[in-house]
A and B are shown apart, each in its own frame.
Chain A
Amino acid sequence: MIRHLLSAADLDAATATLVLDTAHEMALLADREVKKLPTLRGRTVVNLFYEDSTRTRISFEAAAKRLSADVINFSAKGSSVSKGESLKDTALTLQAMGADGVVVRHPASGAPHRLAHWVDGSVLNAGDGTHEHPTQALLDAYTMRSRLGRLEGLNVAIVGDVLHSRVARSNVLLLHTLGAKVTLVAPPTLLPVGVEAWPARTSYQLDSVLPDSDVVMMLRVQRERMDEAYFPSAREYSRRYGLDTARMRRLPEHAIVMHPGPMNRGMEITPEVADSVRSTIVEQVANGVSVRMAVLYLLLGGKV
């Protein structure tokens, strides 16, 4: 097993499948009387969050606790970071405390890679800037596999703000590794420069992509990262790239609708679609805990 999980590209097909299979066994824990395993007893996991997060932080915390690890939560607010401490000094502090695993979210792309050079423990990227979010890609792949039975050959449309989306980048890399075919759908202004080099097709027309899609993944429009105008108005974006009931009817019978959350209801997805039976949004959150348990076990469970 790899030592750190910094990018979805760190995972080859065999390792990614191992994570998904392990997550499947971890998921059985949810039905048990005692939802706890002794596997990581005595290990320390630090959640290092420099950016706001609800589900990822809680999900990692729940996963670590279910494996009996000791969890230390660190958020930039209320810590010495607000006094100006650098990432490196924080890392050295964690190192001195003997953290076996560091889960890091940071607004700067690449921060987890830097961190990995400074600490001895395993570093898990929980989202760095607009770069990557590998555990989100793993839980999305897990959700697709459990709903549709396979990943090989699936047509996955990833729709919306690809430019600012670490979820999209990690998903493209992982889904490509696992044999799914990804189409990125966005207005030209919201596709990154160099997207031609990604292992994915691109399209500007949502309506023409929908009939062939097994999975539609809607991305949040990341207003907080937009310092200029990428589209004329929210209403126009919603008209062309939002998923509403009429558009959902164009999907094949078996297709599922995903969203990594948090949603802008009424912007990229209407409430009717978000709450429909095709939507896996709540399932994705539950699967997130199982997948993160699998990753923590595989990175921290064995000989270090």
Chain B
Amino acid sequence: MSYPPSGPPADPGASDRADSPGSAADRLASTGGTAAPPRPPAATFSSAPAASGGTDAPSRSRDAGTPDRPVKTILSAADIARVVDRIAHQILEKTSGAADTILLGVPTRGVPLARRLAERIHTFENVAVPVGALDVTLYRDDLRLRGARALGRTELPPGGIDGRRVILIDDVLFSGRTVRAALDALGDLGRPRSVQLAVLVDRGHRELPIRADYVGKNIPTALAEIVRVALAETDGTDEVRLLGGTR
């Protein structure tokens, strides 16, 4: 499957995720090229940051820093570990010991984050928090702007979500459209008592009235910049980087 260049300029932020959501095909396509010459990203994948507001199509070839595309590490592996520890503590604090709470990661990188949080919560207070995954691809409002994409996995913990406190976990909060899709999906799966949101990075530029309850790091960004989250489970290494857009 190939992704045609994405939507009209009137669609800022086709995604608010660190890379195109649920897009295994995308990622496969991206790992191919290693030493492509640096060039404006518009031609290659789904998003031209200038046009679509920085949907971060995961082309590794673009990660190399160049004079007009500087790369800055925002969170190192140690920083990510500390941030996850802090969010785990905050969840315990805000939910009175994580009683009746489940963590739902949004694929791809929300899922390992949810597992890490549950593991930390277990270490700190010896509580087992159920972990699941919630793929929102079929609920997205930007499906028609690109080709149909591969689905991620949805797996609810036994007992479902009815009457429980659901904490959605995602890597990057951007336009808020992924979260909106996730809320719609939850509505079809049952009726949680409440829904909260935890993200590793909040990069601003919201297009919907959505905010996170737990934020790893707030990063002021320009629309054209790209936030790239790498996690050991999916990418072999832990790191959050900011790729400068051409201004």
A contacts, CB < 8 Å to B: 1, 15, 18, 21-22, 25, 28, 32-34, 36-39, 297-304
Contact = CB atoms under 8 A, between A and B. Distances in A.
A302 B151 contact: no
Contact of A18 (B138, B146, B150): B150
Q: What's the dominant secondary structure at chain A's contact region?
A: loop
Interface string B145-163: 1111111111000000000
B151 A32 contact: no
Contacts of B184: 38
Given A32-B188, A302-B144, A38 B1 contact: no
A227 B188 CA distance: 52
Contact of B153 (A25, A37, A300): A25
A142 B93 CA distance: 46
A303 B146 contact: yes
**Considering residues A28, A36, A38, which has the most beta carbons from chain B within 10 angstroms of its beta carbon?**
A38
Interface string B11-32: 0000000000000010000000
A190 B135 CA distance: 47
A198 to B, nearest CB: 28
A21 B150 contact: yes
Interface residues of B, number: 23
A189 B42 CA distance: 59
Given A1-B1, A18-B1, A34-B188, A39 B143 contact: yes
B30 to A, nearest CB: 15
A221 to B, nearest CB: 38
B148 A298 contact: yes
A15 B148 CA distance: 12
A171 to B, nearest CB: 24
B139 A302 contact: no
14 contacts: A1-B147, A18-B25, A21-B150, A21-B151, A25-B154, A34-B188, A37-B138, A37-B139, A37-B188, A38-B139, A301-B138, A301-B143, A302-B148, A303-B145
Contact of A25 (B4, B135, B147, B189): B135
Contacts of B188: 32-34, 36-37
B156 to A, nearest CB: 9
Contacts of A303: 4, 144-147
Contacts of B147: 1, 302-303
